[in-house]
Amino acid sequence: MFKTFKNAWSIPEMRQKMLYTLFILLLYRIGAAIHVPFTDAEAIAEQFTLAGGNLFAYLNILSGDAFSKATLFALSISPYITASIVMQLLTVAIPPLERMAKNGEEGQKKITQITRVVTVVLGFLTALGYYFYMSSAGFLTDTGETVFGAFVIIFCYAAGAALIMWLAEKINEKGIGNGISIILFANIIATAAASVVSLGSYAISDAWNLVVVEVVGFGALATVAFVVFITNSERRLPVQYAKKVVGRKMYGGQSTTLPIKLNMSGVMPIIFANSIVAIPSTIELIFQSKIKSGGFWDKFFGVFSYNSWLYAILFFILIILFSYFYIMISFNPIEVANNLKKNGGFIPGIRPGQPTSDYITRVLNRITLIGALFLGVIAVVPLIVNIISGTQLGSLAFGGSSLLIVVGVILETTREIEAQMTMRHYKGFLE
């Protein structure tokens, strides 16, 4: 990996793309440090320090601490991710959008325009909800409670979400890697320092705590190796193309494979599952002032806290369910089978058409189960460590999913750099 980046840096065009990406990330981090007017940033940061395991804490990790500091980029890339997911679902569910998506480059441009509009709308709705939360929690100044203050705060957050979308697209156009993934990667790395400091403070407080932190460290290294192995694993289905004679030439007859990634859904099932399982903790945070200590609702929300066994079990189950759901909307075995049939391809021992589709579906179901169990283990093990050790560290609650995002982005970016270098015929650089 390091050799790939080093070789890419020696190529002027690739070096320019890498510097451009770093420049965009610098602009993003500057925006993540600009406070929105009429907000009490210190009070908000204190509240997020005390809270953990809820949806706000997860959004704070994805925003690189910008959410807890009420800065211009507090909403981070989340509205853009949500809009992309919504459009992906609608493309499968609505036939006109499906035809538009298959209409080549022109159709993709229209889908992109619609995604931008959806991102702006979701940005406004999210900013509106965040404003009402801050107002009810007393995180606004007197001016912030006025109509003018509400207008300024909401539009600042919405404009920040739109600007992040623009930055991500600029990375896609002129930089290296996927814009959404690169910004997520930068945010998680930005919060890593604070997590390391909190773990260090916890370790020096007691000898047993030091042992726990050492185990967590070794576990993180083993997890990285495990994630790399699973991410690069794939099931290759053999495909044979029939021979055909056109004029005096013979075409086809070659053998190839149809690769199916073991972890085809990536980190999306974890994001979906966490959004659902963290709802009770988020509601508790919003109505914290009205919940009596030791009362029914206090005990009820305690059962769904991130340091409870029920939270870990529900999280694991939802990850498996969403893994199958995401594969259903992102991979169509019938379409793959039809494409093979149109091009004269077939899987040896399987008849073309419906039997091929059924075979691919069976293989895909088994592969998806293994990938879902992998995601569940990666996401839930840090929660179990948190519960058994009693650390009460919110930084561990999302450690598995954050690590999966970081490793996935690095592997994805490395593959893209290698592909671009191969296209430029720099022979020997990848050996």
Burial class of residue 252 in the structure, from the number of CB atoms within 10 Å of its CB (0-12 exposed, 13-18 middle, 19+ buried): middle
226 and 128 fall within a common domain = no
295 and 369 fall within a common domain = yes
Tell me the CATH number at 142.
1.10.3370.10
> Tokens standing for 141?
């100044």
190 and 321 fall within a common domain = no
184 and 86 fall within a common domain = yes
266 and 389 fall within a common domain = yes
When pLDDT is cut at 50, 70 and 90, the band that residue 430 belongs to is very low
172 and 291 fall within a common domain = no
115 and 36 fall within a common domain = yes
229 and 342 fall within a common domain = yes
What is the DSSP-derived secondary structure letter of residue 179?
A: H
d(C-alpha 19, C-alpha 190), whole Å = 19
Domain assignment of residue 116, given as a range: 1-204
Taking each helix axis from N to C end, the angle separating 279-286 and 268-277, rounded to the nearest 10 degrees, works out to 40
- Compute the CA torsion angle 115, 117, 119, 125 (nearest 10 deg): -140
**Cβ contacts of residue 167 below 8 Å, gap of 6+?**
24, 27, 28, 179, 183
25 and 3 fall within a common domain = yes
Per-residue pLDDT of 353-371, as tens digits, reads 888 889 998 998 888 888 8
Flag whether pLDDT at 206 surpasses 80: no
What is the DSSP-derived secondary structure letter of residue 308?
A: S
Per-residue pLDDT of 288-321, as tens digits, reads 666 677 777 777 777 777 777 888 888 889 889 8
291 and 330 fall within a common domain = yes
Residue 228 in any domain: the answer is yes
> Tokens standing for 324?
């199958």
> Tokens standing for 214?
């050492």
Residue 56 confidence (pLDDT): 67
Helix (H) or strand (E) holding 237, with range, is strand 234-241
Residue 402 in any domain: the answer is no
Residue 76 in any domain: the answer is yes
Residue 410 in any domain: the answer is no
Look at the block and give the residue holding tokens 């066994």. Answer: 309
**Cβ contacts of residue 355 below 8 Å, gap of 6+?**
none
Question: Do residues 158 and 169 touch, judged by C-beta distance below 8 A?
Answer: no
- Coil vs helix vs strand at 66: coil
Per-residue pLDDT of 42-61, as tens digits, reads 777 776 655 555 566 667 77
Flag whether pLDDT at 397 surpasses 60: no
> Tokens standing for 41?
């940033």
Q: Measured in Å, how far apart are the chain's first and last C-alpha atoms?
A: 12
Last residue in a domain, options 156, 188, 204:
204
Amino acid at 64: G
190 and 273 fall within a common domain = no
Per-residue pLDDT of 116-131, as tens digits, reads 999 999 889 888 888 8
Last residue in a domain, options 137, 171, 204:
204
* Total domains in the fold of the chain: 2
Residue 376 in any domain: the answer is yes
Last residue in a domain, options 204, 235, 253:
204
Per-residue pLDDT of 148-199, as tens digits, reads 999 999 999 999 999 999 999 999 888 888 888 888 888 888 777 666 776 6
Residue 429 confidence (pLDDT): 46
232 and 328 fall within a common domain = yes
Mean pLDDT of 393-411: 70
